[in-house]
Structure 1
Amino acid sequence: MAKVCWPYFDPEYENFSNRMNPPRVSVDNASCHDCTLIKIDSVNKPGILLEVVQILTDLDFVITKAYISSDGGWFMDVFHVTDQQGKKITDSKTIDLIEKALGPKSKSTEGVKNWPSKHVGVHSVGDYTAIELIGRDRPGLLSEISAVLANLHFNVFAAEVWTHNRRIACVLYVNDATNQVADDPKRLSLMEEQLNNILRGCDGEKVARTSFSMGSTHMDRRLHQMLFADRDYESYAVAREVDSPPSLRPRITIERCEEKGYSVVSVKCKDRAKLMFDIVCTLTDMQYVVFHATVSSDGPYALQVCYIDIVFCMLIYESCKEEIE
């Protein structure tokens, strides 16, 4: 049989661009009198925009403006940020943390390791097990969930709950009565069964579920994924904000730019914390890539314009492989 030879592909090639062109992060307090400019130049890669916005959000920064450009092989962003009091970021330790989290010393999966409370997963915040719950929301549901855990002698170390369109997504960190990780299969199975019974008690339309999270995932990111997978946006018609003036109600337009091959999504709504993070998460969950974007806020209003398209992100890496094969 003839010997078949294949070209050698170095498994470290995917990191080659990052080593040759490490990310450059600049924290500028001189160019603008009322905010700090964070400038990031880096090799483009799948999910980099979400990673950066996630880190800035976890640091409790307020993003007042942003200019995003990631078309092609390079990622160039400028963020105008303040702290929660509307002041510049001047603390040297915080600036050092920004440079480490976004700069060449960080890795694609390490963007949020400095904020363990944002992680989901077994052992992700010490000896605790993460439980994911999703179902229909109703009065008294959290009380019933707490009663089940108390009766089974589980301690709740931390929890985060989101509700939307009468659906609930919840992540709980629990351990046993001796403050050790809860890993007994029989007890976990019993807890899962009882929690599912509670969640399904009044859920005639959708199947509720309880699951144990394995690995480590960003908390807010995971809750986004859970609700999107649950198709919460189809559950009920979204109630209009009758108490808000028409000017503050969300206005979303989508236009197709045939010349550039993009779709232009424009969102104008009342400004709030984590708005940019939520929009980027939603687009990412829908398999869209943001090539360009502008973000601005003026008083109570926010305007975010994103140039998006559906792209198979791995094509970037596959094309690089083909060049050397």
Structure 2
Amino acid sequence: MEIIYQPYIDPDYECLIERIYPPWICIDNDTCKDCTLVKVDSANKHGILLEMVQVLTDLDLVISKSYISSDGGWFMDVFHVTDQLGNKITDESIILYIQQALCAKRGGTTKEARICLGKEVAPGVKDLALELTTKDRPGLMSEISAVLVELGCNITAAVTWTHNSRTASIFYVEDGVKGGPITDPIRLANVQEHLENVIEAHHEEGEKRSVRLTTPAVGRTHTERRLHQLMYEDEDYEMCRGCDGGGKGHKKCCDRIHVSIESCKEKGYWIVNVRCRDRPKLLFDTVCALTDLQYVVSHALVSSSGTMADQEYFVRHKDGYTLNAESERHKLGLCLVAAIERRTSQGLRLDLCAKNRMGLLSDITRVFRESGLSISRVEIGTYGERAVGSIYVTDASGHDVDPNTVELVRKEIGGSVVVVHKPQNWTAPGSSSGASQRVPYTIVEEARPRLSLGSLVWSQLERLSSNFGPIRL
């Protein structure tokens, strides 16, 4: 172990420095002709980079390039950002939100700043959160949502990821009759007991699983970051295998995930290079992994070119030391690969929009289960009187979905489904072979009575517009 000694700084002193030198954020629309520069200067603290990336990600902004430096106790960063259409950021409410986001402890963001693009972006705290991790299997989502409905719980939002045969889910629920949070401890214990029974029903001895209830609280962890943490605790990274390179020519043309970690003994850094296919929220996922593994990013350069993204980080441990052990280097590489893979979903993506009502998710997932479809990823939230989101499905064996099955699902639900992401050999019913047009289905329910799903919930669950356009990094 090589120790890089650093002076002790009292936490109260750090707070004092932050009050004397509060974060300074500049939104520059003049320097570059094709993007907005978001410049951040602030006293450095662990996690500040993730906080800033999270703000921009929640606003569905495209980060095409970033320069990061946080040595010497000061954080300086420049983000090159545009909206989803490639335009500069000129909306005053978005600009105000970005400027106030890092200053929440000094009075918080104003109501005007929290409303961007007509949607509330400040996280809500009133709903009970149910966190589950277990082995993935067909029909699991349907069983969980059905049990919650039977127990009188209204699902206001749900996110599920599957990776390496494991699954992690977070459900936000409220009282289905009275609305508002569920506070009765006996009822909460009953909910947890029933969910544990569902998880254990098809569980083999020795397999890991967990069911947790988190009561409403200020400062609740960002939902997608929490999903990363749940899957890390479930050790889903152990089966990850990034590309080993196979020569420079192979690396140059390969679009798989490449992670290389080298030691810079002169400065006490590890140099972490990540190259992979560009996709939405890539920067958030990699920074999230580094932050939760207690690594501090001292310098970084992030850029995207075409379909590929390159990220270079100079990191050391939060405690100021570097471990040159091959085991830790190997684990860090696997965790970065896992963080990138978790959001990459296989299968057919179905975007849905429906009237809010209790039991909606249970009914939809039941139809999928009865049609022999397996859910690989879910992102559903509520906005006003509507429930919107995306569901990725495969057949029970994890293969591509038969287009005729989707048509049967549409008829069963009584609405339509928008097929946004299609497998390579997808052909819409009635179309010529190899047709690539957007298939105009949309799941919409109109006939059944609506029971409001309640107030808006966490921003990243409600604001799913990132699923409807090309966001990078």
Tell me the TM-score range normalised by the shorter chain.
Answer: 0.7 to 0.9
Give the RMSD, CA atoms, in angstroms.
Answer: 2.6
Q: Which residue of 2 aligns with 1:88?
A: 88
Of 137-146 and 225-234, more deviation after overlay is shown by 225-234
| Secondary structure of 2:27 counterpart | strand
Shift of 1:264: 0.5
The aligned amino acid for 2:235 is: R
> C-alpha separation between the residues in 2 aligned to 1:143 and 1:52?
36
Note if 1:218 corresponds to 2:237: no
Residue 129 of structure 1: aligned partner:
128
Task: Provide the C-alpha distance between the structure 2 equivalents of 1:239 and 1:137, rounded to a whole number of angstroms.
Answer: 22
Matching residue's letter, 2:17: S
Greater shift after overlay, 178-187 or 11-20? 11-20
What's the secondary structure of 1:182's corresponding residue?
A: coil
- The match for 1:206 is 207
Measured after TM superposition, the shift of residue 23 of structure 1 is 1.5
Q: CA deviation at 1:259?
A: 1.2
Tell me the CA shift for residue 109 of structure 1. 11
Tell me the distance in 1 between the aligned counterparts of 2:274 and 2:37. Answer: 23
Residue deviations 1:23-74, cap 9 Å, x none?
2111111111111100011111121111111111111111100000001211
**2:203 counterpart SS class:** coil
Tell me the residue number matched to 1:39.
39
**Whole-angstrom distance in 1 between the partners of 2:26 and 2:183:** 45
Match of residue 276, structure 2, among 251, 269, 272: 269
Q: Which of 257, 260, 267 is matched with 2:267 structurally? A: 260
Secondary structure class of the residue paired with 1:217 = coil
Among 249, 252, 255, the alignment partner of 2:256 is 249
Structure 2 partner of 1:3: none
Aligned mates of 1:166, 1:252 — CA distance in 2: 22
What is the letter of the counterpart of residue 176 of structure 1?
A: D
After TM superposition, list the pairs within 5 Å mapping 1:158-173 onto structure 2. Answer: 158-173=157-172
* Structure 2 residue aligned with 1:233: 237
Identity %: 49
Separation in 1, partners of 2:136, 2:78: 39
Q: In the alignment, residue 310 of structure 1 is paired with which amino acid? A: H
Q: Which amino acid aligns with 1:107?
A: K
Structure 2 unaligned spans of 5+: 1-9, 244-251, 321-473
The one-letter amino acid of 1:251's match is H
Which residues of 2 match residues 1-325 of structure 1 at below 5 A? Answer: 13-102=13-102, 105-107=103-105, 114=114, 119=123, 124-126=124-126, 128-178=127-177, 179-204=179-204, 205-214=206-215, 215=217, 216-234=220-238, 236-237=239-240, 247-312=254-319
SS of the counterpart of 1:267? strand
Match of 1:6 in 2: none
Please identify, of 141-150 and 151-160, the stretch whose mean Cα deviation from structure 2 is larger: 151-160
Write the distance in 2 (CA, Å) between the matches of 1:226 and 1:303.
26
In structure 2, relative to structure 1, the CA distance for the partners of 1:136 and 1:129 (3 Å cut) is same
Tell me the distance in 2 between the aligned counterparts of 1:147 and 1:295.
43
Task: List alignment gaps of at least 5 residues for structure 1.
Answer: 1-9, 314-325
Q: Which moved more, 1:48-57 or 1:186-195?
A: 186-195
Indicate conservation of the 8 Å contact 1:228/1:285, yes or no.
no
Once the two structures are TM-superposed, the CA of residue 239 in structure 1 deviates from its matched residue by 9.4
Paired AA for residue 312 in structure 1: D
Between the two proteins, the alignment pairs up a number of residues equal to 292
Name the SS for the 2:80 alignment partner.
strand
- Could you list the structure 1 runs, at least 4 aligned residues long, displaced by more than 4 angstroms after superposition: 108-111, 113-119, 237-240
Matched position secondary structure for 1:96: helix
